[in-house]
Structure 1
């Protein structure tokens, strides 16, 4: 019997502009498209500042970086002659790209109306489904399904953090703590981090950007040799590599939380103004025993925003302040 001719090459564009956590959450879709469609060429459109996350993904064939000039981006994409667009951004920009290219596409339910009702009226009409599973609505026309393998995050060998560079006190294990977030109401307060860390059996590595260097320094001073302030010192890949080596990650609702989920590292999540019900909790299909959500339930002011604020609108920050430090520390000490 003659060999079957190869199927024609199909070019698919995935759109997700930002940010770290949201891009990591698209990784199951990237992998599924590459593995389930024969002879497929996967392209990804992303903002320049997040392109490095996609550049090292072996399932992506070509990256298109968005610099802010939508017209130029559309012209660049038009030359590619895509067969299909998977819109995982679903905003005005991505819709304009789709309309301009005049090709078939798929997208997903954002549930923004339900989120607005939950934030403003405190009535929950949100379906109990993670955003990763919602993303796969965008691939239904392609007959691509969720393989259930969870998230991916790839670290180039040259960008891994050398374990020998860790402080000597970390030799027998450590807990990573993420301090950074764009929105302050997603970050555990400094005093809460200190109180929890004092009960932990292991030293802590503080992670975050330059914006939380001083916060990390304040915590490190109060904890002494038990803490190392890595805020502002490590790249995203170095931070990810450190989390991969950690015994547990303590975090708010952050991008590093999703990176830890990709590595199957135990995660203690402290929830502030956002809720797990928004569908952005650690994604681990069929395996939930090694992460735990800590939150102050039944607060009449919560959720106060689907994104976050620079400070608590009511100035009491009860959603974070009332979380039990003992409960959090005891759970982390299991690992």
Structure 2
């Protein structure tokens, strides 16, 4: 009988949020003692998740944590990262284990040769697939994200603005080819009538200042001043979220927010589009179709390898702004 389970996902924010249905289903259906292994830098993503009984973290090498994991004597190890590091953990523990289908070959064929061999299955379904064979069923309830009470934020305590519904715009991303250039960000914000709160990390602070200064008094830069949970709180209270392909996009989906998702070098076909509960689709995808060079990477680059960056510079910024207008929204944005 499976009583104690270790789930492995080392990074990053969005990928970890996408594992949340597995955690919920394991806890609710099997009642297991649930442990989660990740990098120390991403501990906060899971620290408030009520389905996780114990978090284990590493800084550099899995050797740091192997003795403690061995002592736990897990009944099952669920590898949702499937790389050399996670394989090392599985071998060291020598416990029953399962791993999800990563489809690296299929993704490589799409990036390198434009050959579409991916099955059109969302990564949440792929995370669940090895556990379905053991009798675990996906419950249809979408993603989870939990904010510690002390991290909930009143956005209007940080900006000089009247309290009114606003749009959250996640302008950051880990790689430059996933981000709209500043000129396009400004154009989107100028086309929006409602207040716009810009979210991102410290590396996005300068861009956020430029956009807020040039786009209008209704745009407020919160990049680099909020924790992850505080940014999630701003998203939770927003009417609509505009986001690049990044972790905050998946957090927005966890809060069932209407999303305008803006895609650069990556594509929704990789299986990581916003994931909602069964029967709900509040995502509007914005992408430049017909580019033979796209996707150029399954992750991203700091600069466009071709030098033209058409996947972002040719985005229809007017349409993005229009899709984000929220009065009277009843379904997918713009419908």
TM range (shorter): over 0.9
Secondary structure of the corresponding residue to residue 225 of structure 1 = coil
Counterpart Cα distance in 2 of 1:285 and 1:140: 18
1:218 aligns with 2:205: no
Secondary structure of the corresponding residue to residue 52 of structure 2 = coil
Counterpart Cα distance in 2 of 1:328 and 1:170: 25
One of 7, 15, 19 as aligned partner of 1:14: 7
Larger Rg, first or second structure (1 or 2): 1
- 1:288 deviates by 4.7
- 1:54 deviates by 1.2
1:154 aligns with 2:146: yes
Q: Please tell me whether the aligned partners of residues 2 and 75 of structure 2 are also in contact (alpha carbons under 8 angstroms).
A: no
Identify the residue that residue 72 of structure 1 maps to in structure 2: 64
One of 95, 105, 117 as aligned partner of 1:103: 95
Aligned length: 327
Check 1:123–1:197 CA distance in 2 against 1; reply closer, same or farther (3 A cut).
same
Check 1:170–1:107 CA distance in 2 against 1; reply closer, same or farther (3 A cut).
farther
Counterpart Cα distance in 2 of 1:170 and 1:276: 36
Cα deviation, 1:163-214, whole Å, max 9, x if unaligned, reads: 4415353522111111211100001111111111111120211111111111
Counterpart Cα distance in 2 of 1:66 and 1:287: 38
Identify the residue that residue 136 of structure 2 maps to in structure 1: 144
1:180 aligns with 2:180: no
One of 25, 29, 38 as aligned partner of 1:36: 29
Check 1:157–1:150 CA distance in 2 against 1; reply closer, same or farther (3 A cut).
same
> Any unmatched runs of 5+ in structure 2?
328-335
Counterpart Cα distance in 2 of 1:191 and 1:175: 19
Counterpart Cα distance in 1 of 2:158 and 2:59: 36
Normalised TM-score (structure 1): 0.94
The root-mean-square deviation of aligned C-alpha atoms, in Å, is: 1.4
Secondary structure of the corresponding residue to residue 305 of structure 2 = coil
Counterpart Cα distance in 2 of 1:236 and 1:245: 15
Identify the residue that residue 308 of structure 2 maps to in structure 1: 316
> Any unmatched runs of 5+ in structure 1?
1-7
Check 1:279–1:228 CA distance in 2 against 1; reply closer, same or farther (3 A cut).
same
